[in-house]
Structure 1
Amino acid sequence: MASTAPKKLVELFYDVVSPYSWFAFEVLCRYKNVWMIDLHLKPVFLGGIMKKSGNIPPVMGCANKAIYIPKDVYRMSNYMKVDFKFPTDTFGTMFDKGSLKAMRFVTAVDMIDSSFTENVSRILWSRIHRNDEDITEVASFQLVGKQVGIEPEMLNKAISTITDATIKKRLTDYTDEALEKGAFGAPTIVAHVNGKQEMIFGCDRFPILANILGEKWVGPVPDIPQTKL
């Protein structure tokens, strides 16, 4: 008999500019039906979190870390089984162009029909961190929307409202919510268990998250339970 216990809520605060957020996102998506969690995807603007928390990007704050991070990202992508590749112009793409427009697009889609949020986010990550493609132009958002099957009317609405106050406010609200819960970067994961909130930073704390949830971590690619008919 299937369990009737309520699912445990897990929130992921993420930005598609962040490779580590992508790794956390993919693992949580793989585990949501294994751990039976209610996964809430919450798009934020990483630049806002960094600024408001007083954090400094690792490649700017420490020379040795700037050397280490690229190696670590590739090792982590291999371990997490996520096909990753830095953009050719990494600094220009991630810092000069950034992800504000992309995260507003994700937010607009999420507010209209959240069933598309997961796939839209995944495609945006793939564009910037696998295919070295743009995530800032309207044409890019149109391609992403078509790729995930968003109807033209909804897609046009999402794109046309990117600069609306309601979209900006939602993105700001989620960013501020992450900060209130202790965020200083991305990914930030918040688990709600027994009336308490546990904040976890990064994509390499899944054994700790499993322990908090009372579940088992079996690596980045679990066996997905099959529904019996």
Structure 2
Amino acid sequence: MGPLPRTLELFYDVLSPYSWLGFEVLCRYQHVWNVDLQLRPTLIAGIMKDSGSLSAMRFLTAVHLECPEMLEKVSRELWMRVWSRDEDISESQSILAAAEKAGMPAEQAQRFLEKISSPKVKNQLKETTETACKYGAFGLPVTVAHVDGQSHMLFGSDRMELLAHLLGEKWMGPVPPAPSARL
């Protein structure tokens, strides 16, 4: 019998620059550490009670539900807009522009935008936020490592070295060397 699967859940909101740091590092390490990284868009307002990113996080939830392969790219583009280029992410046109820049067809992005008020999307975002709170979240990002049948909640983007230790892996800084450079 092989080792139990190792899963990392990353609860994040694009209004959190610290979530962005954790997101980028975990996206880089998911294949290095051979973990199943599950991106979990979470409404920081549900934890912190005031953020202004409701539409963006509902949009990401719709993407997660129907087109999860685009979630990483669209999340990254929303972070780029708000934290790198000081652009809006709350207006519909801004969200559509981010999705299109991430490579999502305009008609698909529009379809997802139309779903942000649907009960399915609202309930999923609420459920994900409640799950983060049940793990003990008091801010974002929160990474939950499921290792050897146990769950470990880590708060912050500065806990990657501890996460590596929990996984029994080597921490090689925020940008791990390419696979051929590690040999």
Consecutive unaligned residues of structure 2, counting only runs of 5 or more, are: none
| d(CA) in 1 for partners of 2:119, 2:164 | 38
1:136-171 C-alpha deviation (Å, 9 max, x unpaired): 111112211211222233212101111111111000
1:159 corresponds, among 101, 113, 120, to: 113
1:21 corresponds, among 16, 19, 22, to: 19
Q: CA deviation at 1:5?
A: 5.4
2:39 corresponds, among 22, 33, 41, to: 41
| d(CA) in 2 for partners of 1:149, 1:6 | 35
| d(CA) in 2 for partners of 1:176, 1:15 | 14
Structure 1 vs Structure 2: percent identity of aligned residues? 47
| d(CA) in 2 for partners of 1:178, 1:13 | 7
Residue 62 of structure 2 corresponds to 108
1:52-79 C-alpha deviation (Å, 9 max, x unpaired): xxxxxxxxxxxxxxxxxxxxxxxxxxxx
Written as runs of structure 1 = structure 2, the 5 A alignment for 1:1-229 is: 7-51=5-49, 95=51, 98-226=52-180
Helix, strand or coil: the match of 1:150? Answer: coil
| d(CA) in 2 for partners of 1:31, 1:224 | 11
Q: CA deviation at 1:50?
A: 2.1
Distance 1:6 1:154, change over 3 A: farther
Larger radius of gyration: 1
CA contact 2:5–2:147 (8 Å) conserved in 1:
no
| Pairs aligned (count) | 179
User: Normalised by the size of structure 2, how large is the TM-score?
Assistant: 0.93
| d(CA) in 2 for partners of 1:166, 1:6 | 32
| d(CA) in 2 for partners of 1:197, 1:118 | 23
CA contact 2:12–2:140 (8 Å) conserved in 1:
yes
Consecutive unaligned residues of structure 1, counting only runs of 5 or more, are: 52-93
CA contact 1:33–1:225 (8 Å) conserved in 2:
no
CA contact 1:186–1:201 (8 Å) conserved in 2:
yes
User: Normalised by the size of structure 1, how large is the TM-score?
Assistant: 0.75
RMSD: 1.5
